[in-house]
Amino acid sequence: MTSAAPFTEARERLCETLHEMAAAKLSPGSTGNASVRVDGGMLISPTGAACASIKPADLVFIDQRGHTETGALRPSSEWHMHSAIYQARPEAGAIVHCHSRYATTLACLGKTIPAYHYMIAVAGGDSIELADYATFGTDQLASAVIKALNKRKACLMANHGQIAFGSSPEQALALAIQVEDLAAGYCQCLTLGEPRLLSTDEMNEVLAKFSNYGLQPQQPMQRR
């Protein structure tokens, strides 16, 4: 079995997501990576490759024991982190990690993103937390990220960047873009002063509304 043969649709969708991540300028050069859960493991971008130039055949399959196929490219150095998220969060279908400018700025300042805007709830909580610093590609970083993702779908990573997951590559990327926009807004607020933060009660009300945010009612089946 060649590395390009299995999971054709998943490869194409993940590749499109990587290209869109580059087009959105979320990660310059070869920084950042993305993965998608597939039967028996995951597909992940290769190490050292610019997101804009990755092809479906370049994506690396890693099984649940951390093994790759013979002849495959080397996977992203962050594959341990992706694997840990898939193990800890069964609802995660895809992951995007990037060094977007404003999220990385806050992460390098050691800041979380508090409830300055109700859309913080899009990440699943009343704040976007900050994972403690650890060297990239280590189990220590994976553990720190899992902790910061508690009851959340995205977090910042100290002196590093941000990471987000969703049920699909498209949803994971959409959340990463939203996190970057929220980070930019918070940075701008801080240049003028301290923003008013929403209270716990206010955010709990928003989180309750977000339980069905974006969902449309199913159309009844037509009888013939």
Instruction: Tell me the backbone φ, ψ of residue 146, rounded to 5 degrees.
Output: -55, -40
Alpha carbon distance 6, 90 (integer Å): 22
Residue 78 is among the residues annotated as catalytic for this protein: yes
Q: How far apart are CA 206 and CA 219, in angstroms?
A: 26
Strand boundaries in 93-206, DSSP class E: 94-98, 130-131, 154-157, 161-166
Amino acid at 119: M
Q: Active site residue: 9, 20, 78, 129, which one?
A: 78
Q: Name 7's Cβ contacts closer than 8 Å, sequence gap at least 6.
A: 38, 39, 43, 61
Q: Just list the catalytic residues.
A: 78
